[in-house]
Structure 1
């Protein structure tokens, strides 16, 4: 991906205290929540039903191994009124649109209803970098600010750990997923966007400290959706133990950034399907 000289969500005609954080964007993300018409699948001709499920297996295997740059994962969901969550990562919106429609165009699509789709882009919010830059460069000097910010963003993007965060991969030893959308509150007297840059940076630094205590136990992907979907961010967590989701979210609820300013959407939790798991979905040849 090309390196932007200016983050698209940063304005330089605002007082320094009101400047949004600079950000880096990575892969586009689509979360698809699917329900299966199980009665119709059971009532279908066994050979056709097996072929439909096999088409789903083929898609999932290709997405996992031949979708570069990017990948897709299929998860069996517990509760939430849906059967599967499909998580797509691609390097462009065009390729993401294609991936999102492949399922509906396959034979398996005859038995699947897409309950919800959520669009976002992997985002690395740079509160500390923006705050530090404001201390050295006047944002009102547009030329100087553009140059300094462009150089800072280019340097960040060259870091290996930054590239890995912008193009995330799910570890094999973390098969469980937790996904939810979220907003920052904009209530009178409780408006995140009315806080100074210094206050927002401090709150996010404390929030990040809590998250780092779960390093190695949870992998987190934050994807921004302002202007792309109904909420402001999507949060995707992976873990080896699903109880880790309860632990980190419970602890973060007491953090000021969440306790005072966060609104959460519905949660989906599930486990990524392996090749063997897909085989269990295939109806028995003798079943009717």
Structure 2
């Protein structure tokens, strides 16, 4: 039996794989959902309870005035089956790991149950830049493409507004938070990753137009988690009014990029606490 051979030029006849968008990465992010073992705290020796509360408040206050690159915020959660959400932003994964274990390693850690954790890195997807660059440089010429892309990314990273997006800080006047993970669909007939760069860029441009209507009302952070956690992205929103979360997500559900291609995970909503508010909230009657 003659075995069919692949012609030498067969690869040239295959359609080019869809070109992924270039991206810039910023700070690493860890979302932690925590519950407090209130029964154990109330039943503890008063001295032990005071020590635990003091250690927790000290960590929260230190986070609020951290001098290292990055920061952490503590939020009291509404619903979701947990008491608190903690957001950690750090410039390296090593520093993020240290921050993520601070509470558990403290005396307060005896009364904390970690329910969920999610790891990602702040990401700025550059669909327009990639599309424009592909119009000037052939992506199949890897040497020329890699050089041109590296130069374009370096120039993009120097822009002030880009650095601010890659190293986000929560505005003081926006204490409320909403977080959720999301994926792009890979169903037959609904495969985001099979679309051409042109189609994806057009869909994301329309998606961004919806988001810009909420400028000044919301701050959005997109963090990528491919290869880091179970979903593909995490979304973090901050606002002065929690109803803005409902408004933007409702409106974006009608946008084609979301309506046809997006899958959303569970939502967590809460309000940021200062170190003093954290201390006051957790204070129990230690002298009973």
State the TM-score, normalizing by the size of structure 1: 0.93
What runs of 5+ residues in structure 1 fail to find an aligned partner? 1-13
Contact kept? 2:75, 2:270, Cα under 8 Å: yes
1:179 aligned counterpart, secondary structure: strand
What is the alpha-carbon distance in structure 2 between the residues aligned to residue 197 and residue 186 of structure 1? 16
1:276 Cα deviation from its structure 2 partner: 3.4
Query: Structure 1 residue 71 and structure 2 residue 71: aligned?
Result: yes
Specify the alignment match of 1:153 in structure 2.
153
Aligned-residue Cα RMSD (Å) equals 1.3
Q: Is the 8 A contact 1:54 1:282 kept in 2?
A: no
TM-score by length of 2: 0.93
**Cα offsets for 1:14-69 (capped at 9, x unmatched):** 96661100000000000000011111111112222122122111111111212510
Q: Does 1:85 align with 2:103?
A: no
- 2:176 is aligned with 1:176: yes
Aligned residue for 1:275? 275
Distance 1:89 1:95 in 2: 9
Matches of 2:55 and 2:260 in 1, distance apart?
46
Deviates most, 182-191 or 275-284 = 275-284
> In the alignment, is the contact (CA less than 8 A) between 1:17 and 1:197 conserved in 2?
no
**Any conservation in 2 of the 1:76–1:85 contact (CA below 8 Å)?**
yes
* Residue 55, structure 1, aligned to residue 55, structure 2: yes
Query: Partner of 1:199 in structure 2?
Result: 199
* Residue 33 of structure 1 pairs with residue 1 of structure 2: no
Q: How many Å separate the matches in 2 of 1:65 and 1:277?
A: 15
Higher Cα radius of gyration: 2
Q: 1:257 to 1:101 in 2, by over 3 A?
A: same
Residues 121 and 225 of structure 1 are in contact (CA less than 8 Å); yes or no, is this contact kept in structure 2? yes
Distance 1:164 1:148 in 2: 24
In the other structure, the counterpart of 1:223 is 223
Q: How far off is 1:140 after superposition?
A: 1.0
| 1:87-119 deviation per Cα after TM superposition (whole angstroms, max 9, x unaligned) | 000011111111111110001110011001100
Contact 1:16 1:197 in 2 (8 A): no
Could you tell me how far 1:188 is from its partner in structure 2?
A: 0.6
Match of 1:101 in 2: 101
5+ residue gaps, structure 2, are: 1-13
Show the counterpart of 1:6: none
How far apart, CA to CA, are the structure 1 residues paired with 2:75 and 2:152?
38
Q: Quote the residue 1:22 is aligned against.
A: 22
SS at match of 1:162: helix
Aligned to 1:7: none
Instruction: Give the 3-state SS of the residue equivalent to 1:154 in structure 2.
Output: helix
